[in-house]
Amino acid sequence: MKISNIEFPEKPLFLAPMEDVTDPAFRLLCKRFGADMLYTEFVSSEALIRDVNRTKQKLTIYPEERPIAIQIYGHDPVSMAEAARIASEAQPDLIDINFGCPVKKVAGKGAGAGLLRDIPRMLEITKQVVNVTKLPVTAKTRLGWDDDNKIIVDLAEQLQDCGIQALTIHGRTRSQMYKGDADWTLIGDVKNNQRMQIPIIGNGDVTTPVRALECFNRYGVDAVMIGRGSIGRPWIFDEIKHYFNTGEIIQALSFDEQKAILKEHVIASVFWLDIDDAVSIDSVKDKRLKGIIHSRRHLASTPVFKGIPNFKETRIAMLRAETLNELFGIIDSVEEPLSASDKSE
């Protein structure tokens, strides 16, 4: 499978763009475990034009992350074109347009999935972004605004006609948010539409190797994008690829290995947000750090601690920790949950 001149292996796995999740610290972990394509967090076109430091920071990419896309969002075609021009200067491999974010602060302002209620504006944004950059442009969207307006089959053709070179489809409507099951049927309909010539990437509820393979085989997509299933579990890409290659479920990482990866991610976030590489991590272990706060979503979502009895208080303490010494002390104190066989003995 290719997007423009970027070649991917058979059955490629993409890491979904996620706000407050897919920063370089997390992206590099996912890359190490086998993600074939990475995306930045959402980049606001208006904030990028205003030169907001936090937004500019999202444009930071590293050579070992490639291929990687910068994803931009907004509601104004002129601002989106200018944002695409600025983002192109950071030299990503792709520019991706966010037409799928359902949250109120984005969709409610006519950006992201909000553009599913204004298709002419969506298409105008797409045309202007394509025209302003020499980089390949892709887009990510949903099935439609609600159950009565699942327009993705026709919309996919319209976006293709605007010049995008790949389309990612999340198998829910905006009204669903992240509730209910993702419906891949319409994703398959888009892929099997003979008028579609660009790669189609499927997204939504891929959390196991078996489901990932089913999405390729049943719906014919060119790539599968994994979002929430990777939070607190970057090794999911390795698990899926092992299954693709062998037909077997890989032996899970040990409990201690999983905890070590979680701690590695926290440290990487600290380096990203709090200190530079010239500073020893030991020198800041007792300081309040932004990187710890940024990592809490991963710690809250990780399946590593699933099944541990009476874990609620420990989880709360973990999410309230403000220093590395405090947080790592809590993580190190957690003992591996008993397996079913252990419990029966």
Residues annotated catalytic, as ranges = 101
Using CB atoms within 10 Å of the CB of residue 21, give its burial: 0 to 12 exposed, 13 to 18 middle, 19+ buried: buried
Q: How far apart are CA 187 and CA 322, in angstroms?
A: 43
List of residues 6+ apart from 49 with CB closer than 8 A: 79, 82, 83, 86
Parallel, antiparallel, or unpaired: how do β-strands 38-44 and 200-203 relate?
unpaired
Angle at 146 between CA 145 and CA 149, to 5 degrees: 80
Q: Give the closest residue to 331 by CA, choosing from 343, 317, 344, 341.
A: 317
Count of other CB atoms within 10 angstroms of residue 208: 15
Nearest in space to 58 (alpha carbons), one of 18, 98, 30: 18
And the tokens for 64? Answer: 């070992």
Q: Which of 58, 44, 51, 54 is nearest to 105 (CA)?
A: 44
Q: Are the C-beta atoms of residues 124 and 153 closer than 8 Å to each other?
A: no
What letter does residue 321 receive in the DSSP assignment?
-
How far apart (Å, rounded) are the C-alpha atoms in residues 153 and 183?
13
User: Which residues 6+ apart lie within 8 Å of 268 measured at CB?
Assistant: 24, 25, 26, 28, 29, 291
The beta-strand segments (E) located in 166-319 are 167-170, 200-203, 223-226
Q: Are 234 and 23 contacting, i.e. CB atoms less than 8 angstroms apart?
A: no
For residues 304 and 332, the answer to whether their CB atoms sit within 8 Å is no
